[in-house]
Amino acid sequence: MKISAQSALNQQIKNIGLDLGFQQVGITDTRLDSHHANYVKWIEQNYHGEMSYMARNLEKRLNPELMVPDTLSVICVRLDYRIEEGSWPVDLIDHGELAYVSRYALGRDYHKLMRKRLQRLATRISELVEDMGYRVFTDSAPVLEKALAAKAGIGWQGKHSNILHRDHGSWFFLGEIYTDLKLDIDQPVENHCGRCTACIDVCPTQAIVAPYVVD
């Protein structure tokens, strides 16, 4: 069976991403229809709290092609941040003089690191394909990144709303490249949460008010 030029390009993009240090690269289209109603309801219930920016630019957030005209595909990446050094929260609970800093904040500002690496990925892709239009994102614009990551097969959305990878949990950053390239899309992975409600049961503030809904 011959490999199509399109499939070969997809694989080249993924290989470049891995070469640049991303742990996973997935590709999806721009359709987020199935997320519209739930996101609007979440906003209407004021579950976004003081994060007023989440209620702005709804149409652009839910329609990537409105955010970046001519967008046809979204390249999603995963960058792991779990490190073994440091203490776990449970080890510090009884030490009033100690504070716990989340692992994702222990290193360099991930926004800068991710943006530079995504830009390098986009630049190398543009060397393969002439006249590629694109824009890179990493938690910096109205992008429904968890929904896109799930569609691209990066992982599945757990009941705590984070994206989960079966081997690496949720210890990773997400980034996206909106592009006008028409690429083959990856398939979502199976949701492995099943009947488990551990994240809901142990949430110290009961913020997970229902499966997949965080207040």
**How far is residue 11 from each of residues 26, 43, 148, 195, measured CA to CA in Å?**
10, 38, 19, 35
Other CB atoms within 10 A of residue 47 CB: 15
CATH number of the domain that 110 lies in? 3.40.109
- CB atoms under 10 Å from CB of 57, counted, come to 14
Domain-embedded: residue 215: no
Report phi then psi at 43, rounded to 5.
Answer: -70, -45
Inside any domain, residue 95: yes
Asked if residue 204 belongs to a domain, the reply is: no
pLDDT score at 102? 74
**Which tokens is 40 given?**
């609007």
Q: Other C-beta atoms within 10 Å of 58: how many?
A: 14
Question: From CA 9, how far away is CA 103, in angstroms rounded?
Answer: 35
Residue 141 domain boundaries: 5-155+171-191
Q: Is residue 201 part of a domain?
A: no
* Catalytic residue (choose from 29, 109, 139, 184): 139
Number of independent structural domains in the chain? 1
Q: Say whether 186 is catalytic.
A: no
**Tens digit of each residue's pLDDT, the chain (215 residues):** 345 678 899 999 999 999 999 999 999 999 999 999 999 999 999 999 999 999 999 999 999 999 999 999 999 999 998 766 666 666 766 777 777 677 777 777 888 999 999 999 999 999 999 889 999 999 889 999 999 999 999 999 999 999 999 999 999 999 999 999 999 999 999 999 999 999 999 998 999 999 999 99
Is this structure's pTM higher than 0.85? yes
CA dihedral for 24, 66, 191, 201, sign (positive or negative)? positive
Burial classification of residue 36, based on how many CB atoms lie within 10 Å of its CB (0-12 exposed, 13-18 middle, 19 or more buried):
middle
